[in-house]
């Protein structure tokens, strides 16, 4: 039974291999069946395992040992999988949402020529992500970590003939590598200090360290830097908005629901270490909340439907990191889950819209889509309500839990987070109103083409909408009932010490903030039918700053890229050409020259060979007695 | 005959070792110097026989039969080896009409 | 023991099978025989009861089947069966019938199995000769090919000469210790102040083994014989013979001579020279077969590491190294045979544009080359990694650095083929080569194993 775990990552891997090899020979129907079937199989197994084993998680995680991957001297790394509450939750999210997105893709990508490549990458991504969450040691997790990075790169640059898209893919890859470097550093430090990379062993030894010791702080900060790369936090967040160059279902799966939450998963997984490093925790909380508000501030002026969602994702990830920094691990995971549902829903909805508008992504030329696409409209509205935190939709519960933790521990963080929540409600409904309400602002030809998406796209939307509205009840606040998820995860973090009255008051405040945000959006974009002006028109400075993403890309360019370019030019002309090239070519020539000389030792005559052998025998025998 | 057998152990073992070594070296030098493949084969036989002599001598000095048994194995294997060797020589003679070792030096460098 | 008996019987039966009208009969017989002998070896696993000398794993103080032996024996069987499969759809004209070829392969396997399981120098000698004499014949398998003749003669003369050296060594050791049994010899070796003829004996044995595994300065036969022999035989020589010889070498020095230390310096110098000559000469070769011959010499240099830096992990590292080397070599040689058959040349230029013409074949050859060069995550990398780590643990720093440097030189010539395949264009009228079914099977198996052992070397190194 337990060995079924192996099948969970194996099925997508098989799907990848079959679709990768059968690239040109298989028909689209076969390809999508294989790809979706593989991930559906994983989903079914995950569900079965979850329901049969969930009670045994409390005692000990279930470990399935496949083989000794590296086994040398003191360095043992098994290829082993670990199933516990945390990984089973992630499994369900990845395979469930992943399956829906595979289905959606069959409709969305149906006009694509490179159908097989797309699905092969998608399956490879699922495989890597499953490895990441199932790992029972940091090195196997690292395989998955790198694997998802690679797939993200491949899928962002899926349309690789477009220069801009490949640049975006490269940017994502490089940014991720910066984080990965820190992660590797953390692995080295862990092996040096704990003598192992297996979770159990690492945590056991780590518990013997004192709180706030330098080792712990360095390791956790390195891990956190790794997480900022993957999960798009300040300062490494700029790749995520650019990553929208990939196909929209990819944005939904990788850049909203799963991969970007890997950093959060990793920190929750190693929470034992983070609990011992309060300084790092404070850092995480501050970085998280800053990311949340900066990204939200950028999102309010963006006009590209996917860019808005991308910044919203960065902002929501900031919320999750805020939760992590406050020690509210289960709240963070709760938000990961609800966010996976509503953000995947929003992205798929945007995909549906883009599909209908023949690739147009600018919300200034949309509007009035409500009557053309009723299902997309309804589900998108659910997503917006969920992310805005309107009561009883999933986002309300998860965001509220984080806000409550913030208020409990550090009211300043709470104020910033609450403002962010208001901004979130505003920009999401700005997006909604501009897209679906009012009248269509595009050309007549575009309007003629508007249509509701096929069933393969609307069904996933409906399912996700249901999940996005109901998932919140898994994590009810204390005043309303029992928090199932927190109990299930039982991660050893901080607990909430708020009175019931305070909790209710906080809810009222956050709901009213969200309502205000929505109302402003309504007032501006429906009542006054405002449409954002063209890029060229002069605007207020703050607006300009926000629209240009606070010039962070330019800042990085100026501060980091330009100096590096300058140094590398000097390096190239000075050291590379004169020094290294000469050295390399010289040694190469030397070796070849030597080879050309000593090849004549192989003279060709047997007697000569025998002569040489006898000489050497004599020499060796003599050397023995000297 | 009896006197011969009884005087054998009287010859010190080092003399046997020296004799075998000299025979061995003669064989080795022969392989090295001669160009005629058949004579080279015979020189190799000389090397093997010097080993046989040495083994028998040790066997007799140690009062241990293993060495002499080994000699039989060596003889059998040597016979097989020479058979193959002669086969190879015949094959080469058919192609080159020569049994000069230096004619065969196309493979080099 | 049963496996050796079975294979010996099979060699005789196989010759008769050659008379059969059914061309496949001898192939089927050989294949089943090799598989059965592998299984017979396998069932002795963990049956090594040291206290009971009558256990089936000990044969009259002559052979012993401990776990190390069994693993290497099975490796040899797999190696031989892959060669048998390759022969099945071999299109290169061989002047001897397939049944005879197979008989000789089986004989070699018998010899090789004796060499990995001996506990008495008599069995070692017999195994070595059974292996070598068959190899002399196989090297000349193309009777009408001048180069094949030359290869056979060179191999034979030098091999027979080495047999003399080997026997002289055995005789001297016998003279010093009074026994051919390795345990008795080991007892003598542990005594203080052994006789000087004993040392001379060890050195002579060492030289004979250095010749068999193609270590410099006794490597002279290798390039010529590898180039002249039929390619399939070259594949056999560079894998099966090398494995058997290095394991026999390892067994001898691990059990008997571990006490005497002055030979390790000689082996170290030998290893250094071997790596240098092998790698540096390979760079300037344009014939791929000859290049792989020098590469094989270079690999012997790395293998010697396991001997002079003897440690608890030496056996395991030898196993990982030899397994990776064997499968990568067979993969490479299979590719070379296909190219040779279609282009009638072994020149580097015959590989031009293969990446466009036969992408899968080109990828297979590339993987083989990368593994031989020791690029992770392929089997060759972990072989080298284990071996160097062992050496570093035993404080052989300078020689390890030298070996790493030489490996870097090695990458150059391995990648030359890859460059020719992918970055140079072929003649415009080039057609796609057709890969016979058995080649596809063998290359598929080897490819999987090379990748698998690179991903999880622990499954092998954990065995012994």
Interface test with C, best of A76, A80, A613 (most C CBs within 10 A): A613
Answer whether residue C268 shows pLDDT above 80: yes
Residue B91 lies in a domain: yes
Q: Which residues are paired to A421 by β-bridges?
A: none
Choose the weakest-confidence range: A250-259, A473-482, C241-250: A473-482
Query: Does residue B47 belong to any structural domain of this protein?
Result: yes
Average pLDDT (C243-247) is 95
- Mean predicted confidence (pLDDT) in A355-367: 81
User: What does the pLDDT average to over C272-299?
Assistant: 93
**CB nearest to B73's CB, from C126, C136, C164:** C126
Residues of B in contact with C136 (CB under 8 A): 84-85, 88
What is the per-residue pLDDT for C49? 56
| Structural domains in chain B (count) | 1
Average pLDDT, chain C: 89
Q: C133 falls in which pLDDT band (50, 70, 90)?
A: very high
ipTM of the shown complex: 0.94
Assess whether pLDDT exceeds 70 at residue A80. Answer: yes
Residue C189 has pLDDT above 70, yes or no: yes
Question: Distance (Å, rounded) from C-alpha A436 to C-alpha A382?
Answer: 13
pLDDT at res. C35:
94
Q: Is residue B51 part of a domain?
A: yes
Contacts of B107 in chain C (CB under 8 A): 147, 150-151, 154, 223-224, 227-228
**Angle (CA) B48 B49 B55, round 5°:** 95
Q: Cα–Cα distance between A144 and A140 in angstroms, integer?
A: 7
CB contact under 8 A, B106 and C146: yes
Check B101 against A606: CB less than 8 A apart: yes
| B60 lies in some domain | yes
- Looking at the predicted structure, is the pLDDT value of residue B20 above 90? yes
Nearest CA in chain C to A615: C217
Give alpha helix (H) positions in A300-393.
305-325, 329-356, 374-388
Smallest CA–CA distance from B91 into chain C, residue? C143
Continuous segment of H or E residues that includes residue A420: helix A411-436
Instruction: Please spell the DSSP secondary structure of A212-279, one letter per residue.
Output: T-HHHHHHHHHHHHHHHHHTT-TTS-THHHHGGGS-HHHHHIIIIISGGGHHHHHHHHTHHHHHT-HH
- Residue C261: its pLDDT value, please? 65
Closest CA to C451 of C359, C332, C364, C322: C364
Is the pLDDT at A79 greater than 80, yes or no? yes
Altogether, the residues listed in chain C come to a count of 464
> Which of A68, A613, A624 shows the shortest C-beta gap to C220?
A613
The pLDDT score that the predictor gives to residue A535 is: 64
Whether B71 contacts chain C with CB within 8 A: no
| Chains in contact with B, counting 3 or more C-beta pairs less than 8 Å apart as contact | A, C
Highest mean pLDDT among A227-236, C206-215, C346-355: C206-215
Residue B108 located in a structural domain: no
In sequence order, which residues have a C-beta less than 8 Å from that of residue C463 and are 6 or more positions away? C67, C71, C316, C319
Rounded to a whole number, what is the distance in Å from the CA of A179 to chain C's nearest CA? 23
Backbone angles phi, psi at A76, to 5 degrees: -120, 125
Find the range with the poorest average confidence among A341-345, A367-371, C280-284.
Answer: A367-371
What does the pLDDT average to over A308-327? 90
A147 contacts in chain C (CB < 8 Å)? none
pLDDT tier at A484, thresholds 50, 70, 90? confident
Taking alpha carbons only, the member of A619, A617, A613 closest to residue A601 is: A613
Res. C260: pLDDT tops 60: no
From the list C214, C152, A616, the residue with the least C-alpha distance to B37 is: C152
Write the CA distances from A412 to A293, A331, A388, A402, A426, integer angstroms.
13, 19, 21, 14, 21
Q: Map out the domains of chain C as residue ranges.
A: 261-464
C133 to chain B: which residues are within 8 Å by CB?
77, 80-81, 84
C203 to chain A: which residues are within 8 Å by CB?
A: 620-621, 624
Residue B13: its chain C contacts at CB < 8 A?
175
Residue A547 scores a pLDDT above 80: no
User: Mean of the pLDDT values across residues A573-583?
Assistant: 82
A595–C220: do the CB atoms touch at under 8 Å? no
Nearest to A424 by CA among A542, A339, A544: A339
Structure tokens at B53: 């002599």
Mutate to test the interface with B, among C104, C127, C151, C164 (most CBs of B within 10 A): C164
Query: How far apart are the C-alpha atoms of A150 and A140, rounded to whole Å?
Result: 15
The CATH number of residue B62's host domain is: 1.10.287.3510
Please give the pLDDT value at position A468. Answer: 86
How many angstroms separate the CA atoms of A582 and A575, rounded?
10
**In this complex, is the C-beta atom of B47 within 8 Å of any C-beta atom belonging to chain C?**
yes
CA distance A13 to A93: 18
Domain with B77 in it? 2-99
The pLDDT assigned to C91 comes to: 63
Size of the A and C interface in Cβ pairs below 8 Å: 87
Token pair of A237 as six digits: 């967040």
As a whole number, the mean pLDDT across chain B is: 89
Tell whether A607 lies on the interface with C, counting CB pairs under 8 A: no
CA distances from B95 to C55, C149, C153, C179 (A): 53, 9, 13, 46
Which one of A600, A601, A604 makes the best mutation probe of the B interface by having the most chain B beta carbons within 10 Å? A604
Question: Worst-scoring range by mean pLDDT, A13-17, A549-553, C364-368?
Answer: A549-553
Chain A residue numbers touching B33 (CB-CB < 8 A): 607
Q: What angle do CA C273, C195, B45 make, to 5 degrees?
A: 65
Closest chain B residue to A609, measured at CA: B32
- Residue from C407, C458, C464 whose CB has the most chain A CBs within 10 Å, to mutate: C458
Q: Which of A34-38, A77-81, A355-359, C400-404 has the least mean pLDDT?
A: A355-359
DSSP string, A75-92: EEEEEEEEE-HHHHHHHH
- Within its chain, how far is the Cα of A478 from the centroid? 30
Which of A498-507, B44-53, C50-59, C64-73 ranks highest by mean pLDDT? Answer: B44-53
Q: Decide if C153 touches B, using CB distance below 8 A.
A: yes
Which residues are CB-contacts of C288 (< 8 A; sequence separation ≥ 6)?
Answer: C336, C346, C347, C348, C350, C351, C417
Mean pLDDT for the stretch of residues C245-264: 80
Mean pLDDT taken over chain A: 86
Mean pLDDT of A250-266: 87
- Residues A42 and A126: beta-carbon distance below 8 Å: yes
Chain A residues with CB-CB distance to C409 below 8 A: 591
User: What gap in Å lies between CA A608 and CA A614, rounded to an integer?
Assistant: 10
- Other CB atoms within a 10 A radius of the CB of residue C259 amount to 12
Q: Which residues 6-35 on chain B approach chain A with CB closer than 8 angstroms? A: 28-29, 31-33, 35
Nearest neighbour of C281 by CB, restricted to A71, A79, A595: A595
Show which residues on chain C lie within 8 Å of chain A, measured between beta carbons: 153-154, 157-158, 161, 165, 196, 199-200, 203-204, 207, 211, 217-218, 220-221, 223-224, 262, 266, 277, 280-285, 385-386, 389, 393, 409, 412, 455-459, 461-462
Give the residue on B whose Cα is nearest the Cα of A602.
B109
Nearest C-alpha neighbor of C138 from the set C83, C63, C182: C83
Looking at CA atoms only, how far is residue C212 from chain B in angstroms?
A: 16
β A62-72/C58-59 pair status: unpaired
Question: What CA–CA distances, in Å, run from C11 to A81, C31, C118, C239, C367?
Answer: 48, 12, 21, 21, 35
Q: Counting beta carbons within 10 angstroms of the beta carbon of residue A111, is it exposed (0 to 12), middle (13 to 18) or buried (19 or more)? A: exposed
B109 falls within a domain: no
pLDDT average, residue stretch A371-400: 87
């Amino acid at each position: 039974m337990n060995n079924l775990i192996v099948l969970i990552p194996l099925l997508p891997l098989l799907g990848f291999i079959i679709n990768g090899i059968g690239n040109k020979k298989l028909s689209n129907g076969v390809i999508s069946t294989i790809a979706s079937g593989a991930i559906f199989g994983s989903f079914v197994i995950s569900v079965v395992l979850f329901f049969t084993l969930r009670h045994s998680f409390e005692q000990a995680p279930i470990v399935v040992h496949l083989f000794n991957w590296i086994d040398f001297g003191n360095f043992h790394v098994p290829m082993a999988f670990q199933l516990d509450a945390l990984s089973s939750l992630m499994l369900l999210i990845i395979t469930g949402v992943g399956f829906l997105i595979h289905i959606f893709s069959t409709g969305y990508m149906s006009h694509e020529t490179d159908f097989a490549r797309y699905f092969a990458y998608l399956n490879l991504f699922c495989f890597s992500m499953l490895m990441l969450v199932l790992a029972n040691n940091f090195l196997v997790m690292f395989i998955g970590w790198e694997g998802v990075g690679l797939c993200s790169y491949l899928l962002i640059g899926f349309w690789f003939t477009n220069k801009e898209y490949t640049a975006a893919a490269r940017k994502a890859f490089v940014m991720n590598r910066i984080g990965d470097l820190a992660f590797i550093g953390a692995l080295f430090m862990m092996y040096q200090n704990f003598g192992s990379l297996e979770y159990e062993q690492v945590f056991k030894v780590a518990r013997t360290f004192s709180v706030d010791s330098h080792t712990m702080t360095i390791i956790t900060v390195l891990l956190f830097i790794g997480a900022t790369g993957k999960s798009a936090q300040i300062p490494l967040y700029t790749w995520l908005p650019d990553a929208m160059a990939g196909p929209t279902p990819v944005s939904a799966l990788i850049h909203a629901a799963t991969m970007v939450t890997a950093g959060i998963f990793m920190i929750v997984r190693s929470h034992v270490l983070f609990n011992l490093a309060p300084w790092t925790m404070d850092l995480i909380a501050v970085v998280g909340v800053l990311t949340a508000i900066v990204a939200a501030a950028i999102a309010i002026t963006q006009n590209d439907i996917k860019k808005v969602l991308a910044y919203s994702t960065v902002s929501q990830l900031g919320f999750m990191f805020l939760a992590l920094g406050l020690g509210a691990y289960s709240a963070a995971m709760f938000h990961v889950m609800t966010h996976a549902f509503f953000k995947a829903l929003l992205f798929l909805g945007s995909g549906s819209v883009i599909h209908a508008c023949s690739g147009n992504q600018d919300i200034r030329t949309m509007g009035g889509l409500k009557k053309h696409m009723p299902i997309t409209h309804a589900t998108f509205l659910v997503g917006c309500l969920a992310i805005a935190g309107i009561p009883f939709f999933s986002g309300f519960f998860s965001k509220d839990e984080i806000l409550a933790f913030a208020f409990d521990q550090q009211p300043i963080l709470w104020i910033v987070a609450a403002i962010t929540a208001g901004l979130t409600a505003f920009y999401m409904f700005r997006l909604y109103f501009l897209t679906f309400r009012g009248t269509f602002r595009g050309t007549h030809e575009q309007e003629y083409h508007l249509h509701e998406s096929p069933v393969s796209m609307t069904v996933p939307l409906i399912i996700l909408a249901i999940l996005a509205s109901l998932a919140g009840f898994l994590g009810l606040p204390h005043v309303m009932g029992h928090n199932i998820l927190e109990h299930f995860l039982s991660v050893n973090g901080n607990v909430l010490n708020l009175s019931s009255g305070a909790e209710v008051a906080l809810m009222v405040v956050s709901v009213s903030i969200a309502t205000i945000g929505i109302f402003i959006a309504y007032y501006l974009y429906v009542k006054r039918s405002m449409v954002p002006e063209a890029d060229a028109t002069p605007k207020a400075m703050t607006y300009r700053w926000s629209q240009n993403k606070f010039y962070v890309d330019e800042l990085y360019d100026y501060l980091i890229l330009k100096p590096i370019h300058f140094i590398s030019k000097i390096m190239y002309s000075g050291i590379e050409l004169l020094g290294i090239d000469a050295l390399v070519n010289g040694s190469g020539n030397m070796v070849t020259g030597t080879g050309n000389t000593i090849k004549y030792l192989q003279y060709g005559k047997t007697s000569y060979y025998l002569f040489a052998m006898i000489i050497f025998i004599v020499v060796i025998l003599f050397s023995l007695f000297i | 005959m009896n006197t011969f057998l009884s005087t054998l152990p009287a010859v010190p073992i080092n003399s046997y070792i020296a004799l075998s070594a000299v025979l061995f070296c003669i064989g080795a030098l022969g392989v090295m110097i001669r160009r005629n493949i058949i004579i080279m084969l015979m020189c190799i036989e000389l090397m093997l026989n010097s080993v046989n002599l040495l083994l028998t001598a040790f066997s007799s000095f140690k009062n241990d039969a293993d060495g002499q048994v080994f000699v039989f194995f060596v003889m059998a294997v040597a016979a097989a080896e020479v058979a193959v060797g002669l086969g190879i020589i015949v094959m080469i003679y058919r192609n080159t009409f020569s049994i000069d070792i230096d004619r065969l030096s196309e493979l080099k460098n | 023991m049963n496996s050796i008996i079975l294979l010996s019987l099979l060699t005789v039966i196989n010759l008769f099978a050659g008379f059969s009208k059914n061309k496949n009969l001898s192939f089927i017989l050989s294949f089943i025989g090799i598989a059965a002998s592998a299984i017979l070896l396998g069932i002795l696993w963990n049956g090594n009861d040291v206290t009971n000398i009558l256990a089936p794993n000990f044969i009259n103080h002559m052979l012993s089947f401990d776990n190390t032996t069994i693993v290497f024996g099975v490796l040899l069987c797999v190696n031989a069966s892959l060669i048998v499969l390759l022969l099945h759809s071999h299109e290169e004209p061989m002047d001897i019938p397939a049944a005879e070829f197979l008989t000789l392969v089986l004989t070699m396997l018998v010899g090789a199995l004796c060499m990995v399981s001996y506990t008495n120098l008599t069995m070692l000698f017999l195994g070595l000769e059974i292996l070598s004499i068959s190899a002399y014949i196989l090297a000349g398998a193309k009777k009408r090919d001048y180069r094949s003749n030359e290869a056979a003669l060179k191999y034979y003369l030098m091999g027979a000469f080495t047999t003399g050296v080997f026997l002289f060594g055995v005789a001297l050791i016998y003279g010093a210790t009074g026994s051919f049994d390795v345990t008795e010899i080991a007892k003598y070796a542990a005594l203080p102040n052994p006789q000087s003829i004993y040392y001379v004996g060890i050195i002579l044995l060492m030289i004979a083994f250095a010749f068999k595994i193609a270590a410099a300065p006794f490597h002279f036969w290798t390039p010529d014989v590898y180039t002249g022999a039929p390619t399939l035989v070259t594949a056999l020589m560079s894998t099966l013979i090398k494995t058997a010889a290095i394991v026999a070498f390892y067994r001898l020095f691990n059990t008997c001579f571990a006490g005497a230390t002055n030979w390790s310096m000689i082996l170290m110098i030998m290893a250094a020279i071997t790596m240098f000559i092998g790698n540096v000469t390979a760079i300037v070769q344009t014939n791929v077969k000859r290049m792989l011959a020098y590469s094989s010499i270079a690999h012997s240099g790395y293998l010697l590491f396991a001997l002079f830096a003897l440690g608890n992990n030496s056996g395991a590292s030898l196993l990982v190294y030899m397994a990776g080397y064997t499968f990568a070599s067979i993969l490479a040689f299979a590719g070379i045979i296909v190219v040779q058959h279609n282009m009638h040349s072994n020149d580097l230029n015959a590989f031009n544009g293969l990446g466009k013409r036969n992408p899968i074949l080109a990828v297979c050859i590339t993987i083989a080359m990368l593994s031989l060069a020791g690029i992770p995550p392929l089997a060759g990398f972990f072989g080298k990694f284990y071996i160097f780590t062992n050496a570093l643990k035993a404080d052989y720093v300078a020689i390890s650095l030298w070996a790493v440097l030489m490996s870097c030189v090695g990458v150059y010539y391995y990648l030359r083929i890859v460059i020719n395949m992918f970055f140079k264009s072929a003649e415009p009228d080039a057609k796609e080569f057709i890969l016979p079914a058995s080649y596809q099977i063998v290359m598929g198996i080897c490819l999987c194993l090379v990748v698998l052992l690179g991903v999880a070397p622990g499954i092998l190194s954990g065995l012994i």
